[in-house]
Amino acid sequence: MGSVQSDVVCPKCNFEYAWSDYYYKSGEGYMFCNRCGFSHSAEIVRDPVYGKKIKAQAEELIKQGNLNEALKITGNMGWTRSVPNPDGEPIDIPIIKWTDEEKINRIMDTSFNRFFKKDEKGNTVWEVKKSGGYGAFSELSSRGGGTCGHFENKWSARKYRKRVKQYLKKNKKFKGRITSTTKINGIWYMIDLKTQKRYEIPDKLDYDLWMKYRGGIFDD
């Protein structure tokens, strides 16, 4: 499924480099702000039970030789296959003109566990989630791998920073980078949890500098 990734303004803290991932075929999307930790997702609820029902119907239609109807109920009517054309651009062959074997293979390759859930009126059921806004964290090893996330409340943010402080005290040779964001007197800061140095993150920030901050690279 195709998607478009871009920077957007965070609706929670107005930071200009919140990350967005939009799936243009389904209309689903996800947004995360690495400054305040706010996240927003809009996803269509999947219905594996309904998917199994459609699979059973498709298998029965295949037995009956009604492949076109099986293509229709499984949502495969839009498929095409490109073939070489000696006279110019490749030719797109619609699935309706494929061989029976090719049609059956496409039908059975359908992701039946990802069929969308419908309500009683036949409308698609969506799940919208919002969370965070109390800061974000990033943990990077000296080799480059790592993890990131956000805090659900102020208490969890304080608990996390306390736990990291204890960890770094016991592991003084730790060579990675651990950063956390926090809001102090109305201003957002990125904190290097090894040195406790703070770096302001305003709404408008040079992109290259923000990339350094996200990677835990700070210029003295």
- pLDDT tens figures, 161-196: 999 999 999 998 888 899 999 999 999 999 999 988
Q: Please, what is the average pLDDT of the chain?
A: 91
Looking at the fold, whether 108 and 147 belong to one and the same domain comes out as no
What is residue 25's predicted lDDT score, i.e. its pLDDT? 80
Among 138-142, 169-173, 202-206, the range of highest mean pLDDT: 202-206
What's the whole-model pTM score? Answer: 0.74
Sorting pLDDT into bands at 50, 70 and 90, what band is 215? confident
DSSP state, residue 68: H
Q: Is residue 122 part of a domain?
A: no
Looking at the fold, whether 34 and 59 belong to one and the same domain comes out as no
Q: Is residue 14 part of a domain?
A: yes
Looking at the fold, whether 27 and 63 belong to one and the same domain comes out as no
Looking at the fold, whether 28 and 80 belong to one and the same domain comes out as no
Looking at the fold, whether 141 and 176 belong to one and the same domain comes out as yes
Looking at the fold, whether 36 and 57 belong to one and the same domain comes out as no
* Total of domains in the chain: 2
What is residue 220's predicted lDDT score, i.e. its pLDDT? 56
Higher pLDDT, 165 or 215: 165
**Chain-centre distance of CA 114, in angstroms?**
16
Sorting pLDDT into bands at 50, 70 and 90, what band is 109? very high
What is residue 217's predicted lDDT score, i.e. its pLDDT? 82
Distance of alpha carbon 42 from alpha carbon 11, whole angstroms: 15
What is residue 62's predicted lDDT score, i.e. its pLDDT? 95
Non-local CB neighbours of 111 within 8 Å, separated by 6+ positions: 51
Looking at the fold, whether 15 and 71 belong to one and the same domain comes out as no
Q: Is residue 159 part of a domain?
A: yes
Q: Which residue bears the tokens 């030719």?
A: 91
Distance of alpha carbon 48 from alpha carbon 115, whole angstroms: 7
Q: Is residue 220 part of a domain?
A: no
Question: Above 70 in pLDDT, residue 37?
Answer: yes
Tell me the mean pLDDT in the region 142-157: 88
Question: Above 80 in pLDDT, residue 56?
Answer: yes
Q: Is residue 125 part of a domain?
A: no
What is residue 142's predicted lDDT score, i.e. its pLDDT? 77
Looking at the fold, whether 135 and 182 belong to one and the same domain comes out as yes
DSSP per-residue string spanning 134-190:
S-EEEEE-TTS-EEEEE-SSHHHHHHHHHHHHHHHHH-TT--SEEEEEEEETTEEEE
Looking at the fold, whether 31 and 58 belong to one and the same domain comes out as no
**Chain-centre distance of CA 39, in angstroms?**
11
**Burial environment of residue 190 by CB neighbours within 10 A (0 to 12, 13 to 18, 19 or more):** buried
Q: Which pair of structure tokens corresponds to residue 147? A: 């993890």
**Burial environment of residue 14 by CB neighbours within 10 A (0 to 12, 13 to 18, 19 or more):** middle
Distance of alpha carbon 177 from alpha carbon 193, whole angstroms: 8
Sorting pLDDT into bands at 50, 70 and 90, what band is 24? confident
Range of the domain at 62: 48-114
Instruction: Give the closest residue to 192 by CA, choosing from 211, 154, 165, 172.
Output: 165
Cα–Cα distances (Å) from 197 to 13, 53, 220, in that order, read 22, 58, 10
What is residue 165's predicted lDDT score, i.e. its pLDDT? 93
Residues 77, 89 contacting (CB under 8 angstroms): no
Q: Is residue 119 part of a domain?
A: no
What is residue 1's predicted lDDT score, i.e. its pLDDT? 54
Looking at the fold, whether 63 and 93 belong to one and the same domain comes out as yes
Residues 9, 130 contacting (CB under 8 angstroms): no
What is residue 199's predicted lDDT score, i.e. its pLDDT? 93
Q: Is residue 161 part of a domain?
A: yes
* Percentage above 90 pLDDT, the chain: 67
Q: Is residue 83 part of a domain?
A: yes
What is residue 119's predicted lDDT score, i.e. its pLDDT? 85
Among the candidates 65, 90, 114, a domain finishes at: 114
Looking at the fold, whether 206 and 140 belong to one and the same domain comes out as yes
Tell me the mean pLDDT in the region 57-67: 95
Looking at the fold, whether 135 and 38 belong to one and the same domain comes out as yes
Among the candidates 87, 114, 141, a domain finishes at: 114
Residues 194, 180 contacting (CB under 8 angstroms): no
